[in-house]
Amino acid sequence: MDPFMQAAIEEAQLGLAEGGIPIGSVIVHHGRIIGRGHNQRVQQGSVIKHGEMDAFENAGRLPAHIYRASVLYTTLSPCAMCSGAILLYGIPKVVIGENLTFMGEEESLRARGVQVDVLQDDTCVELMRSFIARKPELWNEDIGE
Amino acid sequence: MDPFMQAAIEEAQLGLAEGGIPIGSVIVHHGRIIGRGHNQRVQQGSVIKHGEMDAFENAGRLPAHIYRASVLYTTLSPCAMCSGAILLYGIPKVVIGENLTFMGEEESLRARGVQVDVLQDDTCVELMRSFIARKPELWNEDIGE
């Protein structure tokens, strides 16, 4: 297992243990994690802190050249908002745990020059499948449905 | 002056008075402001709370049908991240103060069926022109440049 995807999964599991939506993310610069986070809809009542957004926020204010040499790992295919943040800050590469339970804006990212790798990791799929089965209303709220 | 754009401008001016980036936003549902906010990069050290995102966050967790009957007002053309949030939550209409100092993702929004109106309001233009002239590095950081 890629150690950075493992770290993103640990974030997702931490969110689950807190009663939240199990999606996690880390941002990696030159082989070092500089930001990590997980979905905060339940925990903080946040509608903007998806896992990826929480990782950006926890990484703090950074110069453009850091973002442009970083890789973002996320357990789930990034939605329009998170993909927009990836484009805003010029993240050149995104590694995605899975896109079977939710297909995000991968094509938009690729069309704008972002490298997008999808692992289809069983642990990531199972985290979302079991969560969606247990709390479909909460999941729908998180994706605006 | 449209009273909702006036409210967004007041948010931008509040941000400026706090030493922040003067961009404000309000979300309006059936003629009532349900969320308002302004850029929090300086005040909260936030890299995700652009004016629009702060308005979403301050509106709190809402059912999908509320977002889908709301209008978002913003003093400046929305960047990729904020446009992504607009798409995620299915906001059908966006009213923009100006797009002369920064052109956001208006075409992407229109291509996805969002109504986009641009007022080219002098107060909005002047807020950004004078701010960018005084603090170009802070502005560049906010747009990932």
- Chain A nearest-CA distance from B51, in A, is 12
Residue of B25, B47, B49 best to disrupt the A interface, most CBs of A under 10 A: B47
From the list B54, B41, B16, the residue with the least C-alpha distance to B134 is B16
CATH code at position A112: 3.40.140.10
- A42 three-state secondary structure: coil
> How many whole angstroms separate alpha carbon B45 and alpha carbon A101?
33
Measured between alpha carbons, how far is A92 from A69 in angstroms, rounded to an integer?
7
A-chain residues within 8 Å CB-CB of B89? 47, 144
pLDDT tens for each residue of B86-141: 999 999 999 999 999 999 999 999 999 999 999 999 999 999 999 999 999 999 99
Q: Can you tell me the distance from the alpha carbon of A59 to that of B97, in angstroms, rounded to the nearest whole number?
A: 31
pTM beyond 0.90, yes or no: yes
Contact A88 B67 (CB under 8 A): no
> Looking at the complex, does the CB of residue B145 fall below 8 Å from at least one CB of chain A?
yes
Q: Between A and B, how many residue pairs show a Cβ–Cβ distance under 8 A? A: 87
Task: Give me the DSSP letters along A78-135.
Answer: --HHHHHHHHHTT--EEEEEE-SS---SHHHHHHTT-EEEE---HHHHHHHHHHHHH-
C-alpha distance from A90 to closest chain B C-alpha (Å): 7
Query: CB under 8 Å to A71, separation ≥6 — which residues?
Result: A4, A27, A28, A91, A92, A93, A94, A95
Partner residue opposite A61 with nearest CB, options B47, B140, B143 = B47
Our count of domains for chain A comes to 1
Which among B10, B11, B18, B52 is annotated as catalytic? B52
Phi and psi torsions of B68, nearest 5°: -75, -5
The parent domain of residue A15 ranges over: 3-143
ipTM of the complex: 0.97
Per-residue pLDDT reduced to its tens digit, B11-44: 999 999 999 999 999 999 999 999 999 999 999 9
Q: What is the pLDDT of residues B59-90, one digit of tens each?
A: 999 999 999 999 999 999 999 999 999 999 99
- What is the spatial distance between Cα B7 and Cα B24, in angstroms, rounded to a whole number? 8
